Structure 1
Amino acid sequence: MPALARRRSRARSARSARRWRTMRTERTVLAIVHNVAAATRLLDILPIVASDPRIRVVFSCPSSSPFTRGTDEYLRRRGVALTPWRQALAMPADLAIAASCGPNLRKVRAPLVVVPHGMGHNKIMQPDGRTGPSTGGAVHGLSAPYLMWGGTVIPDLIVLSHEEQRDRLRRDCPRAVDATLVAGDPSFDRLVASVPLREGYRQAMGVTAGQRLVLVSSTWSDRSLVGEVFGLVGRLAGQLPIDGYRIAVALHPAAIAHDHRWAYEQWLDECTGKGVLLLPEPDLWGQALVASSLVVGDYGSVTFYGAALGTPFLLASHPAGTVDPASPIGRLLEAAPRLDPDADLLAECARAIDEHDPARYEAITKLTTSHPGEAAGRLRAALYGLLDLPEPDEPAFSDAALPIRRCRLPPPRALLVTAAVTERRDGRLVTSVRREQFGRSGGFDGHLVVDVDAPGVRHLALAEIVVHRRAEDAERWIAEIFRELPRCPLAAARERDGTWLVGGSDGWLVEVDHRSEDGAVFASAVHAWLCLGEPIHELPGKLTVRLGGGEVVTASARVR
């Protein structure tokens, strides 16, 4: 198309956009979203300008990333519609922001700002896009193949989080140094601001007071944790006692994009049956990280962010040549404690938590940001300067904590439980309850508790307590389950008001006034009472359960 025709086409597009608009905005920002990982970072940053009614933000995906799949759906769930890439290139824009850079962005006419989509720039990428060592590799985001085209620097502004990145850029792409701004790390600022809300994130995930949350974090590629030691998740689930530990898995969005979430759900199905949570959304890693007591990770950003927060961590995958050895992550890989996947994992995890000293890694983790808590203000000043707009009167804060979003760890489908009455007086029954994964150890003297959420047939056949956590009519469900499973002596169901009902196969019911999802432990307390040969109608009205992890839960009970 001749130049004059292109200009006329853009003018028609601009008039059409103004004709149908509601808000009388003064500037347009083009958000360039290559993939879901980039989207998560941009949605962290864009509120700096998007909250200003003078500014309109338009999203578009160039579809140049091998991990584009799922980006449209991710944004739609957040109320964002994508503008086709060709249309976005043709529309008038005052600024463009991307969380990744490459030769295709040379076509963007607006001033271009590029921000990192992880903890700085660390990975060595090969000409074919893979991570790992070989000839011709370059640091992603800090080298000429990503920042230059035809001898010209593509971005107008390259945002960095720490001065050390500028030093490495000077080493690998000196012509781009003058285009840099060291602004700090807005994502890390949010993590730090979220630390006081840690218990809120733990409760939203269903982690109890006596449990430690282990976050297994994997980046993408066949050299990542999942790529190299996939079976580790299952071994952790099998060896860490449920009363003391829970496990969540955070996968890099690129891994999900390549193989589909459904595939990972199938590969991890046995782990899910043991109570492991595969985080349902790619932007929940921050809440899970703040909630965690231990990170088991690899060379991805989440592991480093955890170390920077002072969280104990273990490296389960540390292949050579995947990251720039001079980068913060490269330096952490050299100093970090290793996890032996074939060792006693309970002992390894407990030792890592109990013996962790954040000061040991402080010289490395302080490279996260040169301007703690200041990223939003520094970045907003730069963006408004490029937009030629005065900044809003209100200061830009970097301390917007992550929202508390309900994201429950799944209950294990089958648990072997030992329950013993330790005290009975003054109308109170105290019971010690210890739970283990079914099949974890041989010769276990206890009873099998089975959840009805996708149980195995062999589990149901052996169950002594069957549990339903979402019953519409708890009493009716209990009556029916005994007809279907005549060999099962006890059942427990959660009422619609959150309380629990425990029933026996001979028709009795016990109302338990306890409203947490873990109320099924009181069915084990009732089981222990009956094992003493005591009649159900003499069950004390106050129940206390001491769990193996040290947590104590109480409830009132009434037999009817």
Structure 2
Amino acid sequence: MSVQERLNVPIGRAAENWSTRPDCRRVLVVAHTVTAMTRLADILPVFDSDLRVQLVFTRARTSNFREGVTEYLNDLGVAAAPWEQAVEEDFDLALTASYGDDLHLIKAPLVAVSHGAGYNKLVRPETRKPGNPETRKPGNPETRKPGNPEIPDPAAAPGVFGLSGETLFRDGVLIPSAFVLSHEEQRERIRRSCPEALPAAVVAGDPTFDRLLAGRRWREDYRAALGATGGRRLILVSTTWGPTSLLGRFPEVLPRLLRELPADEYRVVFVAHPNAWHGHGVWQMRSWLASCERAGLVVLPPRSGWQAALVAADHVIGDHGSVTFYGAALGTHTMLGAFPHEDMDPDSPIAAFGRAAALLDEDRPLADQLAEDAARHRPDRFAAFTSQLTSVPGGSAAALRTLMYRLMELDEPAAPVRTVPPEAPVPVSLSWPARAGIAPLLVATEGDAAEVRVRRFPAEPRAGAGAGPAGAHLLADASEPEPRWYESADVLVRTEPVPDPAAWAERTLSEHGACRIAAAATPVEPGAAPALTAAVRAAGLLRLTVHGAPPDFPVEAATAALWHAALAGADLTAPATVKLHLGAAQAAVAIEPLPDGRPAREDPARGGTGTAGATPARAEDRPRI
């Protein structure tokens, strides 16, 4: 049903005669934005299993980021009333996670909660003029250089959104019957800025942070869902919305991380504020991120997944958004890519955290800064600030239920309230032909004929960004749709089994003049070691069998052992075993000539060891292995 259609049940003209539970307490849930609705969704389990309570939802009209709310409510399957009907009806309670619209018209006690980690942003008038190029430049280096931040003068600063008279009062009347604070420090800020609102302030903790705490039991499951297996370190990159956000000021952080970090040692996950997704459009955001997604970036959808990713993360890179502060509060190593001190209440815990956390220097390699700062990190590094996130860790749901049932004049249920851990993350993903199963990789090897260390880097972020690792060769999936990668690949792999892998490998090698190795997955018995059948130019057919590898080991990595063995001058006509190190994993790759193997046709005019840079050299310009 559209949120524009008036309801007849459970409110409306037919409600009294047609409702299955006509005598319920009625609760109105006001959704201003997707962000506000996700926060309210963290609270709604306080009403679980109570047949005495009926919830009705409505979409507020005035937010600049209303897009996505209707779809969210439809997906939840809730009873949704248009705003005009919602303010006509009587309710026993109303909930909001934002201000704006005519909340004072609602006929119910109103409980207001923050839609983020406390109350931190200053209320500022809209001063930026559309089309003014000086105000629209992303990544202005003068606004994000490490150093002493410019701190607003508290005496001259505007009020804090959610804690000031500008947001709490309408025509001299306090809008909420109760507004929820997460920590006692916010009560002190209210006392200083708007003491007349103090009687309505209730400290009830942070329900979202409690969900994060509850999710720590499932950390390994969340990591597996995000691909952080095999010893990979998970980096969560988080951006809020607006020109002062990480995406607004330092968008290069994503391709640079992907370019600098080995793909088998790190997993980079990206979460953007719902206002960024719905302000610009989901299609536009995916379009902006497309090359990074093709290079292996894990992108989470706007409503969910970020909570689980925070629990799973080893590192967080963010800005002044709540996700970054939650990461620091969990004790996770956290750095900043941007932080607009001028937009924040200088007395807020997030502002203090922003002054203490390390800010990435865009003029230095990001991987080096990440490693250096992580070496100095302790879980309690920011505890002086993050301890002010909640006064009742683990107890927010119980405190909120007590407040809400008191306002409804209803006894609380006998059963304890549930705190639900985050859902397992489900990233958005590109599929063929937008990308192949394996992203093009620049593969660097180091070692000798018996033992080799392999590091693989996404090739796409290096396009136009200088040379790749010295001596690297280019590996591409046989299904790679982009000609520049497919046609210049030194190694082509097919990880899906084919009926005759030897014939496929030989045919691919003969048709692809630049390719030196073509390898296809070989069918094996259940429980047997995974294997590839490889055709090698001037060396014939070989079997590569991977022994002792962890379950998630990428079988195509075995071609790096073959490549390096050939470069080291190994005799490929005799069986050999190469110990292969890939990130934290290791395996033994057995290289065996097939009994009826025959040399693949050699074309002396072609051949090569691959690309060391992002623009692959012509095949005829590259030396042969």
Instruction: Check whether the contact 2:542–2:592 (CA below 8 A) recurs between aligned residues.
Output: no
1:405/1:336 Cα in 2 relative to 1: closer, same or farther (>3 Å)?
closer
- 2 CA distance for matches of 1:120 and 1:494? 55
Deviations 1:389-427 (A, max 9, x none): 2211111244x3223234388876221113467686xxx
- What residue identity is the alignment partner of 1:62? A
Is 1:550 the counterpart of 2:584? The answer is yes
- 2 CA distance for matches of 1:107 and 1:248? 42
Paired residues for 1:252-271 under 5 Å? 252-271=273-292
Paired residues for 1:364-403 under 5 Å? 364-398=385-419, 400-403=420-423
322, 331, 334: which one aligns with 2:355: 334
- 1 CA distance for matches of 2:491 and 2:396? 53
1:528/1:183 Cα in 2 relative to 1: closer, same or farther (>3 Å)?
same
Mean Cα deviation higher: 531-540 or 519-528: 531-540
Instruction: Check whether the contact 1:205–1:409 (CA below 8 A) recurs between aligned residues.
Output: no
Instruction: Check whether the contact 1:127–1:136 (CA below 8 A) recurs between aligned residues.
Output: no
Deviations 1:269-312 (A, max 9, x none): 22223222222243211111121111111111111111111111
Cα displacement (A) at 1:384 = 1.2
Q: What's the counterpart of residue 334 of structure 2?
A: 313
Mean Cα deviation higher: 497-506 or 81-90: 497-506
Q: What's the counterpart of residue 191 of structure 1?
A: 212
- 2 CA distance for matches of 1:12 and 1:257? 30
- 1 CA distance for matches of 2:187 and 2:345? 14
Cα displacement (A) at 1:160 = 0.9
- 2 CA distance for matches of 1:382 and 1:47? 14
Q: What's the counterpart of residue 69 of structure 1?
A: 67
Mean Cα deviation higher: 504-513 or 243-252: 504-513
Cα displacement (A) at 1:471 = 7.5
Instruction: Check whether the contact 2:444–2:472 (CA below 8 A) recurs between aligned residues.
Output: yes
Relative to total residues, which structure has the larger helix share, 1 or 2?
1
- 1 CA distance for matches of 2:588 and 2:17? 64
304, 314, 335: which one aligns with 1:283: 304
Is 1:249 the counterpart of 2:270? The answer is yes
Deviations 1:354-398 (A, max 9, x none): 111243421111000011111011111111112222211111244
- SS of the equivalent of 2:120 reads coil
Structure with bigger gyration radius: 2
Cα displacement (A) at 1:501 = 5.9
225, 244, 252: which one aligns with 1:204: 225
Cα displacement (A) at 1:350 = 0.4
- SS of the equivalent of 1:120 reads coil
Is 1:301 the counterpart of 2:301? The answer is no
Instruction: Check whether the contact 2:57–2:80 (CA below 8 A) recurs between aligned residues.
Output: yes
Is 1:95 the counterpart of 2:93? The answer is yes
Instruction: Check whether the contact 2:109–2:177 (CA below 8 A) recurs between aligned residues.
Output: yes
- SS of the equivalent of 1:321 reads helix
219, 233, 236: which one aligns with 2:254: 233
- 1 CA distance for matches of 2:48 and 2:498? 43
1:11/1:219 Cα in 2 relative to 1: closer, same or farther (>3 Å)?
closer
Instruction: Check whether the contact 2:35–2:274 (CA below 8 A) recurs between aligned residues.
Output: yes
- SS of the equivalent of 1:295 reads strand
Paired residues for 1:433-452 under 5 Å? 433-438=454-459, 439=462, 441-442=467-468, 444-451=470-477
Paired residues for 1:138-537 under 5 Å? 138-398=159-419, 400-407=420-427, 413-419=439-445, 431-438=452-459, 439=462, 441-442=467-468, 444-451=470-477, 455-467=481-493, 485=512, 487-488=514-515, 489-492=517-520, 502-505=532-535, 516=552, 518-528=554-564, 534-535=571-572
1:406/1:481 Cα in 2 relative to 1: closer, same or farther (>3 Å)?
farther
- 2 CA distance for matches of 1:408 and 1:554? 34
- 2 CA distance for matches of 1:124 and 1:453? 51
1:195/1:452 Cα in 2 relative to 1: closer, same or farther (>3 Å)?
farther
- SS of the equivalent of 1:200 reads helix
- 2 CA distance for matches of 1:558 and 1:533? 12
Identical-pair percentage: 37
- SS of the equivalent of 1:258 reads helix
- 2 CA distance for matches of 1:472 and 1:53? 57
Question: How many pairs does the alignment contain?
Answer: 543
- SS of the equivalent of 1:289 reads helix
- 2 CA distance for matches of 1:463 and 1:293? 33
The TM-score, its normalising length taken from structure 2, stands at 0.78
- 1 CA distance for matches of 2:301 and 2:285? 11
Q: What's the counterpart of residue 113 of structure 1?
A: 111
Cα displacement (A) at 1:12 = 11
RMSD: 3.5
Q: What's the counterpart of residue 56 of structure 1?
A: 54
Mean Cα deviation higher: 373-382 or 485-494: 485-494
- What residue identity is the alignment partner of 1:109? K
Instruction: Check whether the contact 2:442–2:468 (CA below 8 A) recurs between aligned residues.
Output: no
1:478/1:490 Cα in 2 relative to 1: closer, same or farther (>3 Å)?
closer
Cα displacement (A) at 1:519 = 3.0
1:126/1:494 Cα in 2 relative to 1: closer, same or farther (>3 Å)?
farther
- 1 CA distance for matches of 2:196 and 2:509? 75
Instruction: Check whether the contact 1:413–1:452 (CA below 8 A) recurs between aligned residues.
Output: no
Query: Which ranges of structure 1 fall in alignment gaps of 5 or more residues?
Result: 1-8, 425-429
Mean Cα deviation higher: 388-397 or 401-410: 401-410
1:271/1:25 Cα in 2 relative to 1: closer, same or farther (>3 Å)?
farther
- SS of the equivalent of 2:325 reads helix
- SS of the equivalent of 1:116 reads coil
1:76/1:534 Cα in 2 relative to 1: closer, same or farther (>3 Å)?
farther
- What residue identity is the alignment partner of 2:294? G
Cα displacement (A) at 1:158 = 0.4
- SS of the equivalent of 2:387 reads helix
Instruction: Check whether the contact 2:341–2:354 (CA below 8 A) recurs between aligned residues.
Output: no
- 2 CA distance for matches of 1:480 and 1:184? 65
Cα displacement (A) at 1:472 = 9.2
- 2 CA distance for matches of 1:289 and 1:337? 19
1:178/1:472 Cα in 2 relative to 1: closer, same or farther (>3 Å)?
farther
1:281/1:103 Cα in 2 relative to 1: closer, same or farther (>3 Å)?
closer
Instruction: Check whether the contact 2:315–2:334 (CA below 8 A) recurs between aligned residues.
Output: yes
1:11/1:25 Cα in 2 relative to 1: closer, same or farther (>3 Å)?
closer
Instruction: Check whether the contact 1:274–1:412 (CA below 8 A) recurs between aligned residues.
Output: no
1:558/1:73 Cα in 2 relative to 1: closer, same or farther (>3 Å)?
farther
1:337/1:450 Cα in 2 relative to 1: closer, same or farther (>3 Å)?
same
Instruction: Check whether the contact 2:8–2:15 (CA below 8 A) recurs between aligned residues.
Output: no
Mean Cα deviation higher: 330-339 or 505-514: 505-514
Cα displacement (A) at 1:436 = 2.4
Cα displacement (A) at 1:316 = 1.7
- 2 CA distance for matches of 1:118 and 1:471? 48
1:59/1:469 Cα in 2 relative to 1: closer, same or farther (>3 Å)?
farther
- 1 CA distance for matches of 2:366 and 2:10? 64
- 2 CA distance for matches of 1:179 and 1:253? 29
